[in-house]
Amino acid sequence: MNGVPMMDLKIQYQQIKSEIQSAIENVLEHGQYMLGDETLKLERDLATYCQVPFGLSTSSGTDSLILALLTIGIEPGDEVITSSISFVASAEVISLLKAKPVFVDIDPKTFCLDPKKVETAITKKTKAILPVHIFGQCADMDALLSLAERHDLWVIEDACQAIGAHYKGKKACSLGHLSAMSFYPSKNLGAFGDAGMLFVKEEALFLAARQYRTHGEYPKNFNHERIGLNARMSEIQAAILNVKFKYLDLWNQKRKECANRYYQLFEEADLLHRLALPHMATYNDHVFHLYVIQTPQKENLISYLTENGIGAGKHFPTALPHLTCYRSLGHKMGDFPMAEAFCHQSVSLPMYPELTYPQQAYVVSKIANFFKNHKLAGY
């Protein structure tokens, strides 16, 4: 075998190539490249799918988060509680509005925001909680929503990695007051570039978000009621996503099958005592955007897999509060022990719907060889 990539976007495209090309050609022929019928269809269909009244197409998951914060009125000096493990955008958007991200440690099993540690982080300045549904499974939303109700806080779901996931039978994006989604190409539902969606439960908030998205103006009348953004999705990206959305549940099911195969292969290779495999909380239906294992031999294992042509990633190598851009907050090593342990041990393995059994068997065989060699070397 010539190796196994971390993901393979080309193989998925080849399977739906004619549909994609037809959808793009249709947009090019009718000539409406922004906020047309494709965008409206995507907004309606995804809102229905996610069990939310309103969907608003955006230019990225990051812009969806910014719009959510603008819509609920986050101002300079406010505090927003979020997870210490995520892509930087989850905190970056808070900082861009001159508010303060308040980082909280993670649950060591799900890697999501730990509700038990959130309450002690709430102050008089706290305005919102922004949980991240990391790697494809939801945070413990009942506990977080209970805290939010008790302290009169907004809850914004960062569901950028979790489209199609369920929490106690409810879809990700249907749980908080607002929810952000990303369609970055590598996501479970990916565009051919940047794109996103904001989901909103209340009509008044949706109308405000729609204005913020388009320079503070809607409908188009050159009367800009708010200071807004240019955060629109292009019609071509919407057309592509409308094609791919038809396959989302099938692709998510295949990801789950890949996750099950990994478990079986690791069990057969007698590696369950060597590795911590992904944990799915009993209340969750995980859609495995990423498949992340843990081992103290992280760096050596990644190097070995890379040498053998296997894509292996670091999601994420540094906890958010320890990034250079957040040094001014004064956090030190040891403040977030679960997040720090995760960063030192996490390895992302290949995961995509088209991943085959022989490819997974090859990955696991190389991991087995790695641990066998390290055992012989006295590690």
Residue 375 is predicted with a pLDDT of 67
Residue 2 is predicted with a pLDDT of 85
Residue 379 is predicted with a pLDDT of 43
Q: According to the 3-state scheme, what is the secondary structure of 117-130?
A: HHHHHCCCCEEEEE
* Domain locations in the chain as residue ranges: 9-104+111-245, 248-376
Hey, which residues does 102 pair with through a beta bridge?
A: 81
pTM: 0.96
Distances in Å between the Cα of 53 and the Cα atoms of 45, 48, 50, 127, 167 are 11, 7, 9, 24, 18
Gap between the Cα atoms of 371 and 351, Å rounded: 21
- What's the pLDDT tens digit per position in 237-266? 999 999 999 999 999 999 999 999 999 999
Distances in Å between the Cα of 72 and the Cα atoms of 69, 176, 197, 200, 376 are 5, 12, 16, 11, 58
Gap between the Cα atoms of 29 and 322, Å rounded: 49
One DSSP character per residue, 168-188 reads TTEETTSSSSEEEEE--TTSS
Residue the block writes with tokens 């403040």: 335
Gap between the Cα atoms of 84 and 112, Å rounded: 9
**Strands, E assignment, the chain:** 54-58, 79-83, 100-104, 126-130, 154-158, 166-167, 170-171, 178-182, 196-200, 284-285, 291-294, 346-349
Residue 1 is predicted with a pLDDT of 83
Averaged over 3-30, what is the pLDDT? 98
- What's the pLDDT tens digit per position in 134-173? 999 999 999 999 999 999 999 999 999 999 999 999 999 9
Residue 371 is predicted with a pLDDT of 96
Homologous superfamily (CATH) of 248-376 is Aspartate Aminotransferase, domain 1 (3.90.1150.10)
- What's the pLDDT tens digit per position in 178-208? 999 999 999 999 999 999 999 999 999 999 9
Q: What percent of the chain has pLDDT over 90?
A: 97
Gap between the Cα atoms of 125 and 95, Å rounded: 15
Averaged over 327-352, what is the pLDDT? 98
Please determine, looking at this structure, whether the domain spanning 9-104+111-245 carries the CATH number 3.40.640.10.
yes
Phi, psi of 135 (to 5 degrees): 65, 0
Averaged over 330-347, what is the pLDDT? 98
Instruction: Decide if 96 contacts 121 (C-beta within 8 A).
Output: no
Instruction: Decide if 66 contacts 89 (C-beta within 8 A).
Output: no
One DSSP character per residue, 349-374 reads EP--TT--HHHHHHHHHHHHHHHHHH
Gap between the Cα atoms of 199 and 179, Å rounded: 5
- What's the pLDDT tens digit per position in 23-59? 999 999 999 999 999 999 999 999 999 999 999 999 9
Gap between the Cα atoms of 372 and 129, Å rounded: 44
Instruction: Decide if 352 contacts 291 (C-beta within 8 A).
Output: no
Gap between the Cα atoms of 309 and 357, Å rounded: 17
- Reduce the DSSP state of residue 198 to 3 states and report it: strand
Instruction: Decide if 75 contacts 96 (C-beta within 8 A).
Output: no
Could you tell me the pLDDT band of residue 377, with boundaries at 50, 70 and 90? low
Amino acid identity, position 130? L
